[in-house]
């Protein structure tokens, strides 16, 4: 599991920075060095063992997961023009990459879309060739980008997104219990507009954090949620004025 690999990588970085070897960790845990090495290589950590290792390192589980997350965030969050163009030109490839970013495993992708084994492998290898994932033995994959991609403004994927997805997203009644659709227009000072922008950024970060926390839940316990937030200079009255057309005395 990718999350386990990230935690193990985080543990190794912390141990190295604190000068703790497998031998010294084994001594602190009262187990053999071979057992410690086997646990790390096979990534067979029980929650109890992980908690004890964190105790030896004077580290909380929260700090460990945060370290692993920060390491992930150091991965590229933006793609090249070539990478985006390849994704935009192949909707199946873009779909695979998007769902892998959201924690789907290759086997689930293959089963969900009923893709043939050769086609499934070809899509994974194409993402590997583009430098977006690394394909391991048995068609397991590791992301080599951040989970939170910042698509290029006006780039190939954004153009595809805006022409297809955005129109479909808004063509909806928004009358469900968890659906929200609000539009507000007002005149704000520059300071208020900047404050509002920071609040929007914070909400997006919270959305990303929720997605990361829920990523390991079984598929049956979660469903896709789309969040669209926009803020721009806007004068609603000017649109009404255009609709009103004739402002003469009549």
> What architecture is domain 76-171?
Orthogonal Bundle (1.10)
Sign of the CA dihedral with 4 first, then 5, 9, and 12 last: positive
Q: Cα separation of 112 and 68, whole Å?
A: 30
Q: Cα separation of 164 and 117, whole Å?
A: 29
Structure tokens at 66: 């945060």
Measured at the CA of 96, the angle between CA 122 and CA 94, to 5 degrees, comes to: 100
Domain layout of the chain by residue ranges: 2-73, 76-171, 175-250
* 2-73 CATH: 1.10.260.40
- pLDDT, tens digit (0-9, with 9 covering 90-100), for 35-88: 999 988 888 888 888 889 888 887 777 777 766 766 666 678 899 999 999 999
- Return the residue matching tokens 């009404």: 240
Structure tokens at 184: 């507000």
pLDDT of residue 19: 78
pLDDT tens over the chain, length 250 residues: 567 777 888 788 778 767 789 999 999 999 999 999 998 888 888 888 888 988 888 777 777 776 676 666 667 889 999 999 999 999 999 999 999 988 888 999 999 999 999 999 999 999 999 999 989 888 888 888 888 888 998 899 998 888 777 788 888 999 999 999 998 889 999 999 999 999 999 898 888 878 876 776 777 888 889 999 999 998 777 676 666 655 555 5
In contact, 77 and 67? CB cutoff 8 Å? no
pLDDT of residue 249: 58
In contact, 127 and 133? CB cutoff 8 Å? yes
DSSP string, 149-194: --PPTTSHHHHHIIIIIHHHHHSS---STT-----------HHHHH
pTM over the 0.75 mark: no
């Amino acid at each position: 599991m990718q999350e386990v690999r990230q935690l193990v990588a985080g543990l190794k970085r912390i141990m190295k920075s604190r000068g703790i070897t497998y031998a010294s960790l084994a001594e602190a845990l009262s187990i053999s060095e071979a057992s410690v090495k086997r646990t790390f290589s096979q990534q067979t950590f029980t929650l109890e063992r992980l908690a004890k290792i964190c105790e030896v390192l004077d580290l909380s589980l929260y700090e460990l997961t945060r370290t692993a997350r920060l390491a992930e965030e150091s991965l590229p969050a933006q793609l090249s023009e070539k990478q985006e163009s390849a994704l935009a030109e192949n909707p199946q490839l873009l779909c695979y990459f998007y769902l892998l970013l959201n924690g789907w495993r290759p086997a689930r992708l293959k089963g969900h879309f009923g893709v043939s084994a050769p086609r499934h492998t070809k899509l994974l290898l194409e993402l590997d060739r583009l430098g977006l994932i690394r394909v391991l033995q048995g068609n397991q994959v590791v992301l080599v980008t951040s989970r939170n991609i910042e698509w290029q403004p006006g780039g190939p994927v954004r153009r595809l997104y805006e022409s297809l997805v955005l129109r479909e997203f808004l063509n909806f009644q928004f009358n469900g219990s968890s659906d929200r659709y609000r539009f507000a227009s007002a005149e704000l000072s520059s300071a208020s507009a900047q404050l509002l922008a920071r609040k929007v950024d914070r909400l997006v970060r919270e959305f990303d954090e929720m997605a990361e926390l829920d990523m390991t839940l079984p598929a049956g316990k979660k469903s896709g949620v789309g969040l669209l937030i926009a803020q721009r200079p806007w004068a609603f009255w000017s649109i009404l004025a255009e609709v009103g057309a004739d402002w003469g005395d009549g």
